[in-house]
Amino acid sequence: MGSSKHRWRLSLLKSPSNLKKPSPPPEFICPISNDLMTDPVIVSSGQTFERNCVLACISLSFKPPTLLATVDFTTIIPNLALKSAIINWCRTNSFSPIPQPLDIRSALTIVQSLIKTSPNYPQIRLSSCLSSTSEESVAAGAGTGAGDSCSTTPIRPFCYSSSSSSEIDNPVEEDEEIICKLRSGLMSDQENAVVSLRKITRTNQDARGKLCTPRLLSALRHLIVSRYSSVQVNGVAALVNLSLQNANKVKIVRSGIVPPLIDVLRGGFPEAQDHAAGALFSLALDDQNKTAIGVLGALPPLLHALRSGSERSRHDSALALYHLSLVQSNRSKLVKLGSVQLFLNMVKSGHMTGRVMLVLCNLAGSVEGRAAMLDGGAVECLLGLLTRSEFDSESTRESCLGALYGLSQGGLRFKGLAKEAGAEELLIKEQEMGTNRCKEKASKILEVLRQKYEEEETVDWEALLNSDEITRSRFEIVYGKESI
- CA angle at 45 for the pair 39 and 51, rounded to the nearest 5°: 15
pLDDT at 475: 35
pLDDT (tens digit, 0 to 9) for every residue of the chain, 484 residues total?
Answer: 455 555 545 444 444 444 566 788 889 999 888 899 999 998 888 889 998 888 888 877 788 877 666 788 878 888 988 999 998 888 888 877 778 888 887 888 888 888 877 665 544 443 443 343 333 332 333 333 333 434 455 666 765 544 433 333 444 456 788 888 898 878 888 999 999 999 999 988 889 999 999 989 999 998 999 999 999 999 999 999 999 999 999 999 999 999 999 999 999 999 999 999 999 999 999 999 999 999 999 999 999 999 988 999 999 999 999 999 999 999 999 999 999 999 999 988 888 888 999 999 999 989 999 999 989 998 888 888 887 776 767 888 888 888 888 888 877 888 888 888 888 888 888 888 877 888 888 888 888 888 764 444 455 555 555 554 444 443 333 333 333 3
Q: Are strands 76-78 and 48-50 parallel, antiparallel or unpaired?
A: unpaired
pLDDT at 153: 59
| Long-range contacts from 414-417, C-beta under 8 angstroms, 24+ separation | 414/370, 414/374, 414/379, 414/448, 415/448, 415/449, 416/461, 416/464, 416/465, 417/374, 417/379, 417/380, 417/465
SS3 29: strand
pLDDT at 352: 85
**Do the beta carbons of residue 30 and residue 53 sit within 8 Å?**
yes
Q: Please, what is the end-to-end C-alpha distance for the chain in angstroms? A: 111
pLDDT at 151: 40
**φ and ψ of 77, to 5 deg:** -125, 130
- CA angle at 450 for the pair 378 and 479, rounded to the nearest 5°: 60
Q: 134, 228, 238, 152: which is closest to 189 by C-alpha?
A: 228
Q: Give the model confidence (pLDDT) of 123-159 as tens digits.
A: 444 344 334 333 333 233 333 333 343 445 566 676 5
pLDDT at 141: 33
SS3 40: strand
pLDDT at 3: 54
Cα dist from 259 to 57, 226, 227, 296, 344, whole Å = 28, 14, 16, 7, 29
The CA distance from 483 to 208, in Å, is: 37
Q: 332, 243, 251: which is closest to 285 by C-alpha?
A: 243
Q: 152, 143, 140, 483: which is closest to 325 by C-alpha?
A: 143
Q: Is 314 left (phi over 0), alpha (psi -120 to 50) or beta?
A: alpha
pLDDT at 448: 84
pLDDT at 149: 38
- Beta-bridged to residue 36, according to DSSP, are 29
pLDDT at 150: 42
